[in-house]
Structure 1
Amino acid sequence: MTDEPLDALVLGGGAAGLSGALTLARSRRSVLVLDAGEPRNAPAEGVHAFLTRDGLPPAELVRLGRAEVESYGGRFRSGAAVAARRESELFAVDTADGDTLRARRLLVATGLVDELPDLPGVRELWGHDVLHCPYCHGWEVRDQPVAVLGSGPNSLHQVKLFSQLTADLVYLRHHAPALSPDEAEELAALGVTVIDEEVARLEIADGRLTGVRLVGGRVVPRTALVVGPRFVARSAVLEDLGVPVVDHPWGGRYVATADVTGRTEVPGVWVAGNVADLSAQVVAAAAAGTMAGARINADLVEEDIARAVARHREGALA
């Protein structure tokens, strides 16, 4: 058991958690990052749309971030948080290896889990030839034969966005609702081919996507497939503390925040990154972590001042 309480405990060592920890460490706060080592973007070859870091491998971004946090005195510990509770003025977080960490404030940046369509080949190619975000990976598949799988309420939106990136685009309706006349007209105007037949599996050769096989046996040659995962926040620890977790209109679950700084309805608990914003790219998650870290420090400053004033008054009365 770790006896000395931290100023702040950060759960999650991705872009959001690292940015929050960096801000707190630079404010001379005692901060520890507890990281389970399960980054959501691990399968991706690079981080994109992150100014000055475009194309950087995700693991390298984490390595550089950890080094920066450590240079200001921040600490790291490998492991997962399995439970959390309030103990008087502190938060107590139990780790998977049986320890308990205590801190005055919590920043939860545990991210989310991508629940992918249940089709053979999707998980194998996820983050490479199977993707979901045009801003994260669209440039890399520009002008290629791309298919969008009707796998979620956001599928038609994905079709429209990817039509900007390639003229060879197919919409595999799969299990999605039938198109309305207006929707069908829009896709026809964009030159998008619509295939109503259900998908059976992906065709893979040498680790790369070569096509999509339909249940009738026909193979649609494609080199990239766009899917719509269900995004589910890693929120168990937050739920222990009574932080609200709500349904997203596009499917999935995320953590509700009380303000733009990531403050939750539970005093002393902040969130940042995909756990609270399912669509946040890496650069947005990093910005959210910075904002949360700054607000946590300001909150601690106010508490420190209140304690100093109380001591000062006690001294004046002595």
Structure 2
Amino acid sequence: MTDELREQYDVVVIGGGAAGLNGALMLARARRSVAVIDAGEPRNAPAHGVHGLLGREGMPPAELLSIGRGEVRQYGGHVVDGAVTGAKAGEGGFTVALADGREVKARKLLVTTGLVDRLPEIPGLAEHWGRDLVHCPYCHGWEVKDEAIGIVATGPMSMHGALLFRQWTSDLVVFTNERLALPPEEAEKLKARGTRIVDGAIERIESENGRISGVRMAGGEFVPRTVLATASRMEARAGFLQDLGLNTVEHPSGAGEHVPADPFGRTEIPGVWVAGNVTDLMAQVGAAAAAGAMAGAQINMDLVNDDTAAAVAAYRAR
């Protein structure tokens, strides 16, 4: 079920994940007219469950979003299916364009479109994403505990991942894949905890019955593994903001590109706010939802200030 898109709202939320829905919930409860426009491409769709979220541990991602949509509607908010292609500033706010030709006006925008994961281009790898190919030990570590795990290195941050995943298994292999140069002191840390290091390029990932069976090296060696972990390059879904002069930039961590904002989600463009993975690449579902709530409250205060300024001007003109 989705709602009909009206011509104008106090706030349009672009993106209907945890951050967007929680932001919309705050705004709807503040008696603001709000519409969430969602393209239906959640990053965590392949995952079986959401983890580390108090009160919702293990809940399927689609179920969590369904509950969130219902809660937004409970307070009069609209949830609309659609892909946003552009946004322009104008008198009184913004005009948001959708791929199907619809347009909607808003006084403020909250952008919560998340990110896209760019995986290493290794044959046989991508099709396992979110199941037996994982990226975050806090999201998936318990589910793959004690399995034969392999770290597919993508750069220096892979050393961080290797140290972390050792907490969940004693059977760990690091594949440097010509992307990770380990100084002797770093290699020593891994070896001291029983972690094997395999140098050289990976040729492909091999599978059996739809599950990872191991890693075939370019030199011919086959290393059996049942789970692989790798760091994706994370890129914010924000190309539609370019007409507003708001562009993505490299994240300080080097993990990808994000939309910069202050701690409350305020961007450099007045009236445009961001929350969740579009600005915080490493945020889990709980952190993204909390950021959406914070941004929603701040947007409401911005609107209160605008409404008060207009009322004062009208009062003085009597």
- TM-score, normalized by the shorter chain, greater than 0.5: yes
Cα distance, 1:3–1:71 mapped onto 2, change above 3 Å = closer
Distance 2:282 2:110 in 1: 19
Distance 1:10 1:102 in 2: 11
Shift of 1:51: 0.6
Q: Which runs of 5 or more residues in structure 2 are unaligned?
A: none
| Residue 66 in structure 1 maps to residue 79 in structure 2 | no
Deviates more, 1:135-144 or 1:212-221: 212-221
Distance 1:9 1:71 in 2: 17
State the partner residue of 2:178.
175
Q: Which runs of 5 or more residues in structure 1 are unaligned?
A: none
| Aligned with residue 275 of structure 2, among 272, 276, 280 | 272
Shift of 1:276: 0.1
For normalisation by structure 2, the TM-score amounts to: 0.96
State the partner residue of 1:185.
188
Identity %: 55
Shift of 1:237: 2.2
Shift of 1:239: 2.6
* Aligned alpha-carbon RMSD (Å): 1.4
CA contact (8 A) 1:243 1:256 kept: no
Shift of 1:200: 1.3
| Residue 219 in structure 1 maps to residue 216 in structure 2 | no
State the partner residue of 1:21.
24
Distance 1:148 1:177 in 2: 11
Distance 2:296 2:175 in 1: 43
CA contact (8 A) 2:238 2:247 kept: no
State the one-letter code of the partner of 1:135. Y
Shift of 1:78: 0.8
For normalisation by structure 1, the TM-score amounts to: 0.96
How many pairs align? 314
CA contact (8 A) 2:178 2:200 kept: no
State the partner residue of 2:264.
261
Distance 2:7 2:87 in 1: 17
State the partner residue of 2:135.
132
**SS at 1:280's partner residue?**
coil
Deviation per CA, 1:247-305: give whole Å up to 9, x if none: 12323100111x21100011100000000000000000000000000000011011111
| Residue 309 in structure 1 maps to residue 312 in structure 2 | yes
Shift of 1:2: 6.9
| Residue 78 in structure 1 maps to residue 78 in structure 2 | no
Q: Which runs of 4+ in 1 moved over 6 A?
A: none
**SS at 1:64's partner residue?**
helix
Distance 1:167 1:202 in 2: 21
**SS at 2:76's partner residue?**
coil
| Residue 111 in structure 1 maps to residue 114 in structure 2 | yes
State the one-letter code of the partner of 2:215. V
Distance 2:178 2:37 in 1: 40
| Residue 166 in structure 1 maps to residue 172 in structure 2 | no
Deviates more, 1:261-270 or 1:198-207: 198-207
Deviation per CA, 1:223-265: give whole Å up to 9, x if none: 11001100000111223212242112323100111x2110001
Shift of 1:172: 0.5
State the one-letter code of the partner of 1:111. G
CA contact (8 A) 1:153 1:251 kept: no
